[in-house]
Chain A
């Protein structure tokens, strides 16, 4: 029974829930079973924001799971909160250009990406597509969906904005590919 369990965690405002929504929408459109739970506190901004996503071939039972297959941590506080979702079978990704520390939990693979730095330093990208780079990272790390599924879901979510400003589409697509490359580079090392 193929089921991929994903935990995506960051600070409120980093776009964690937006990324999760695009990811599960892509899974749904691709005919997979999907289940997504957003998890955040009473604050409108700030605080740790967590998305629990599952993509599977068969009907999903438990809505909340104990351990993720992929756990993405985008801030120090996200590391503190989410190490509990990691076990020795999990792949952990953290943003080394945001976090000031390294996750210390025992895992199968630990991948450091500097998505925030890349987003800010590359003039063809920009801070606002940081989360789309992360989506690319997630796409490559999970390997259950095709890039076209994600591009489709991005169209569904952002078509109006894309049509008004076509350069946004190019920018988002590039961010997605940059994210995927980040994981591939790490995998080949």
Chain B
């Protein structure tokens, strides 16, 4: 059992990376594996700085391939382990993440998106949205929480551990370089004080007791001989995933009830949308926000209802429509036209959105 550092409500002024390290401790995480890559380094730095007080563990591996598989090893041994990565690191960690999907390992990873493709920038982007949801050679049996600031980072990092250990699908906190590096006030708390109980971990391999007497043998397969055998397993996974989706899909709306123009945005861009909406509402323009918090799985029903109510939709992202692609598929059959404001690897400001929405008022979308 680790030492929890936050015992009572504590307001702090931190960077997002620092918040994530504190959140992992609050969630009783016992071990972090990782490899340095900007802009997530300070998660590791902070975790290591806190190590002596937490009585937890840390291993810096030789690369992200190893960091991903080491995390899996720690989890199989019964530890509440996690990792964090970004950009090209997220790309090469996909092999381990795929294995976690296949073997139903409660893998927790914080992704601090940076510009892409390849090395690109170390600053910010929303270009790992698709990769984090659907990377690997599989079907995207993953849960992805997209955060919009430091309170979210704390809340959802804690939640990610419980989602992962409850449903045994890899679970991600998808943030970005802005959130990692920026500093804003945040309330840290002991999850128990909010009625949150951490789901206990278990040794998936090498558990105590005699096989066949005290317990069943553990058989976690990564390889299948027959095509049909694989499909049968994956269909079971899909069923579990769909059932879980109903229980965990989250979203937030802001002034969306009577919105004629509905903005769909996730993560930090959704915050810019809120700024824009307040300015536009002051001018009498009826605009609102639908922000998926779980971008995988999406809260499809409320999403469709919000879109159906609106006269136009605006997708905006710091990527070329990675979320829009996932959302549009779920809107099949609806007639609401849409427009887009995509800035690849660049922050979307409130002003950007104000200008775009005003243009949509003058000249409505037709697509």
Contacts and interface: CB of A to CB of B under 8 A. Distances in A.
Q: Do A and B come from one complex?
A: yes
Contact of B184 (A34, A38, A65, A67): A34
A19 to B, nearest CB: 14
Chain B CB within 10 A, most for which of A38, A40, A64:
A64
Contacts of A37: 178, 181-182
A63 B268 CA distance: 7
A145 B351 CA distance: 26
Nearest to B11: A28
Contacts of B352: 66
B123 interface: yes
Interface residues on B, range: 20 to 34
A18 to B, nearest CB: 13
A67 B352 CA distance: 11
Contact of A63 (B178, B185, B276, B351): B178
Nearest to B179: A63
Contacts of A40: 123
B183 A61 contact: no
Interface in A109-157: none
Given A36-B183, A61-B275, A66 B350 contact: yes
Given A41-B122, A42-B122, A61-B275, A33 B185 contact: yes
Chain A CB within 10 A, most for which of B119, B179, B185:
B185
Contacts of B348: 64
Interface in A56-101: 60-67
A180 interface: no
A35 B350 contact: no
B347 interface: yes
B274 interface: yes
A25 interface: yes
Interface in A1-52: 1, 21, 24-25, 28, 33-42
Contact of B185 (A21, A34, A62): A34
A64 B350 CA distance: 8
A66 B349 contact: yes
Contacts of A36: 182-184
B185 A39 contact: no
Given A34-B185, A35-B182, A62 B275 contact: yes
B80 to A, nearest CB: 31
B271 interface: yes
B278 A62 contact: no
Interface string B201-216: 0000000000000000
B183 A34 contact: yes
B181 A28 contact: no
B13 A28 contact: yes
Interface in B234-280: 268, 271-272, 274-276, 278
A61 B185 contact: no
B106 to A, nearest CB: 31
B351 A66 contact: yes
B122 A64 contact: no
B13 A61 contact: no
Nearest to A1: B278
B272 A63 contact: yes
Chain A CB within 10 A, most for which of B179, B347, B352:
B347
B178 A65 contact: no
B184 A60 contact: yes
A126 B271 CA distance: 42
A60 B184 CA distance: 9
Given A61-B278, A61-B350, A66-B349, A39 B183 contact: no
Given A39-B123, A41-B122, A42-B122, A63 B347 contact: yes
Nearest to B123: A39
Chain B CB within 10 A, most for which of A35, A42, A61:
A61
B122 A61 contact: no
Contacts of B119: 42
Given A63-B271, A63-B272, A35 B184 contact: yes
Contacts of A1: 278
Nearest to A39: B123
A78 to B, nearest CB: 17
B282 to A, nearest CB: 10
Contacts of B274: 61-62
Nearest to B122: A42
Given A41-B122, A64-B272, 18 more contacts: A33-B185, A34-B13, A38-B181, A38-B182, A41-B123, A42-B119, A60-B184, A61-B272, A61-B350, A62-B274, A62-B276, A63-B182, A64-B178, A64-B347, A64-B348, A64-B349, A65-B351, A66-B351
Interface of B: 13, 38, 119, 121-123, 149, 178-179, 181-185, 268, 271-272, 274-276, 278, 347-352
5 nearest CB pairs, A to B: A61-B275, A64-B347, A66-B351, A62-B272, A62-B275
23 contacts: A21-B183, A25-B13, A28-B13, A33-B185, A34-B13, A34-B184, A35-B182, A37-B181, A38-B181, A41-B122, A42-B38, A61-B275, A61-B350, A62-B272, A62-B274, A62-B350, A63-B178, A64-B272, A64-B347, A65-B350, A66-B349, A66-B350, A66-B352
